[in-house]
Amino acid sequence: MHLPRRPRRNRRTAAIREMIQETTLSVSNLIFPMFVLEGTGLKSEVKSMPGIYRFSLDTLLEEIKEVTDLGIKAICLFPNYSEDKKDKHASESHREGTLYLTALATIKDKFPDLTLMTDVAMDPYSSDGHDGYVENGEIINDISLEILGRMAVAQAKAGADILGPSDMMDGRIGYMRGLLDAEGYSNVSIMAYTAKYASAYYGPFRDALDSAPRFGDKKTYQMNPANAREALVEAQLDFDEGADFLMVKPALAYLDIIKALHDNFDIPIAAYNVSGEYAMIKAASQNGWIDGERAMLENLMSIRRAGARAILTYFAKEVAQVMNG
């Protein structure tokens, strides 16, 4: 047959395929979420996330040394607090000497070149388990901003490079940016959780932090999975308020949202390859139903292909190990 155009010619050898590959995945694209908890000498696996652990600060530092030696250049730290440290105002989140702030300062001191990202939300510290302040069963937006603002400044003071407001309160990016600039932290970046959906994929993460809401759900502040255009509204607000990155969470069920933000905004787009997405691959792989390593790399490549420059993923260490041979 006379076929002047044969696309298979460009797939004929590995060298040609590699030469024309449109999207690449590097360890430098990845941010590794990690968990710190109170105590010493602790390393506790998250049951629903095989291979992911909660660490006391001493063992966390050992793990960070291991992952940085593999080439990981950025982590995002989340705290696990006991119930007796939680209250309605998330007071522990900005108390001087608290576990989380101490951990941030210690990590930055021992690993000054590591990009250190934080979580800004009330739920790890709240007796209500919500991302904002609760009054009479309602999340009060503007009171929440004051608490989140104190949290943001405390984290910047402790040495954070990138703040990750995951709360989805209205106006929080501009409020935090104003406080940070006024306090002399204009170089601290904000990675806005711009399109954070009310997703079923967060379950294992809430196991890791014991941060599930004590009543109701998070649908009054997290986005409806049915909505795409609303993400552009949220993105425009975060962009105008001074966000340095726009994030989509989760990633795999929202590749269209990642692409929409990439196509419409000229700042880096990030995506969170969340705990449920990780757990599904791990469970299927352990049952022999899929090739876990190939599925991991294919999923992460799809997130990059959609337009994400940075990916928060629990696979970061495993990817680094694969790429290091």
249 in catalytic set: yes
Closest CA to 205 of 135, 123, 141, 128: 123
The amino acid occupying position 58 is: D
Contact 297, 252 (CB under 8 A): no
Residue 212 CB neighbour total at 10 angstroms: 15
Residue 234 labelled as part of a binding site: yes
40 DSSP 8-state letter? S
Calculate the CA dihedral of residues 135, 139, 142, 143 and round it to 10 degrees: 40
- CA dist 246 and 262 (Å) reads 9
CA angle 151, 89, 160 (to 5 degrees): 15
Mode of pairing for the β-strands spanning 310-313 and 269-273: parallel
Catalytic, out of 85, 86, 196, 282: 196
Look up 196 and say whether it is catalytic. Answer: yes
d(CA 63, CA 244): 28
| Per-residue three-class SS string for 76-121 | EEEEECCHHHCECCCHHHCCCCCHHHHHHHHHHHHCCCCEEEEEEC
Cis check: omega of the bond before 250, within 30 degrees of 0: yes
Q: Which of 85, 86, 218, 249 is catalytic?
A: 249
Residues β-bridged to residue 116: 75
Among all residues, which ones are annotated catalytic? 196, 249
Binding residues for Mg(2+): 234
Binding residues: 234
